[in-house]
């Protein structure tokens, strides 16, 4: 299930980087092996995922936030990201950070509602062989 969610996340959030399902499975297994992946359950059903990775001396990145389309608009990702962020702060991190697509007002509002603040913009460039 989680591997499928990693693939779906890639399709939605980074369509230019979509990898094969096997690669998504390996990616999911890596997050799980590092202990960085969390899931949110509702009534015993797993309904959302998010993870932490890329630690710095004082902070950690939150990412791989995904809720299947049929489970959205119920606050699952908001609750999970808030809980995961608090877990990291309680463990001694001074801050958590994440990347979000400026073109996605829904995720931007959710993150700001739980306490994240914009710090900087990032441009991504890809070079391809001619």
Domains of the chain: 37-113 (3.40.630.30)
Q: Cα(120)–Cα(59) distance, rounded to whole angstroms? A: 16
Question: pLDDT (tens digit, 0 to 9) for every residue of the chain, 130 residues total?
Answer: 777 887 787 777 666 665 666 777 888 888 888 888 999 999 999 999 999 999 999 999 999 999 999 999 999 999 999 999 999 999 999 999 999 888 888 889 999 999 999 999 888 787 888 7
């Amino acid at each position: 299930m989680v591997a499928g969610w990693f693939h779906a996340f890639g399709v939605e959030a980074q369509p230019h980087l979509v990898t094969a399902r096997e690669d998504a499975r390996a990616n999911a297994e890596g997050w799980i092996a590092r202990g960085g992946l969390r899931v949110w359950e509702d009534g015993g059903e797993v309904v959302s995922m998010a993870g932490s990775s890329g630690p710095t001396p004082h902070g950690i990145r939150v990412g791989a936030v995904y809720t299947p389309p049929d489970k959205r608009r119920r606050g699952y990702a908001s609750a999970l990201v808030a809980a995961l962020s608090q877990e990291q702060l309680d463990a001694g991190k001074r801050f958590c950070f994440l990347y979000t697509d400026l073109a996605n007002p829904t995720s931007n509002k959710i993150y700001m509602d739980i306490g994240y603040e914009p710090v900087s913009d990032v441009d991504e460039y890809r070079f391809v062989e001619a």
